[in-house]
Structure 1
């Protein structure tokens, strides 16, 4: 379980992500009061086994947690084809910029988010989004569900083989549904 950046140009300084597994990620999501899930285009093309794509996993995660989902514009059609209506459609850069405001929430309520979950966004872009959260939205914790280590996140999986990554994703669902202790 390597905790070095997957891309060597991504060296963020002394503060790096805590490498976690699926059980810990599930517990983090479970205790979050107002999580937010941001989904990028790679969720449509990343298989996770059993004929499912990463976007199917995100829908299942959103249904279990009842967390609002922000779909990037290119993922909206895939969500709607699966009869799932995301909370908002917004560019990942735009939603990350708005998250810098400690009083902002995607649904307009007076309760801000406390955990932002990034999934299905290209490594380089996600790195910059997480850097923005880390440096300019210190009221938030961030979690990357990528299979590669993201040092700019608060929490990230280490660099994982595909099968281990899928095991960790499934463990999150088990913890959230009460099966994985």
Structure 2
């Protein structure tokens, strides 16, 4: 699970001694499955990234939400695309706004107690880095996971820097685990 020395995708992104543990898709799937109250935050990059001929990163986020039971917060301009696919996110708000609210230990998207795992996907690298830094330093009650293809040292867990194909394989492995397949125990 842990890759001892991973360089941040952007070399200037060195946040100090506490950095993200790298993981693979099967471990990420088990962590998501074990979370009591996960939340998925989806950014505009999810509209642009095609995982294959038939599926975008946004479609993946919908499938992840349905399998994990985690509500989705649509950020940027993703709300329309979610609704066009027949999926209603729990909320639509800016990524900075939702991250700020998550710093409050008692807040949750549905008002029923704090989230324990926040999953970021499809947010530009530089912005996501700052969002994760805010939670890392000011929301010690939360664990964070980045499912983007580049290493995010400010997350609790992150994929290492991956080729596109390896990244898609890891994303698919998460889905397989959530469906009860390999490593799904």
TM-score band w.r.t. shorter chain = over 0.9
Q: Contact between 2:76 and 2:95, CA under 8 Å: does it hold in 1? A: no
Find the aligned partners of 1:174 and 1:76 in 2 and give their Cα distance: 26
The residue that corresponds to 1:179 in the other structure is 181
Instruction: Name 1:122's counterpart in structure 2.
Output: 124
> Take 2:57 and 2:131, find their aligned partners in 1: how far apart are those partners?
20
After superposition, give the CA deviation of every residue in 1:52-99 in whole Å (9 maximum; x if it has no partner): 100000000001111110001400011011010000001000000010
**Which runs of 5 or more residues in structure 1 are unaligned?**
none
CA shift, 1:16, in A, is: 0.4
Aligned counterpart, 2:69: 66
Give the paired residue count.
180
Aligned twin of 1:3: 6
Q: Report the CA distance between 1:11 and its aligned residue.
A: 0.6
Distance 2:76 2:68 in 1: 22
Choose the corresponding residue for 1:137, options 139, 156, 165.
139
Q: Which residue of 1 aligns with 2:102?
A: 99
Displaced runs of 4+ in structure 1, greater than 4 A?
none
Cα distance in 1 between the residues matched to 2:17 and 2:40 = 27
TM-score (norm 2): 0.95
Alignment of 1:140-151 (within 5 A): 140-151=142-153
State TM-score, norm by structure 1.
0.97
1:90 aligns with 93
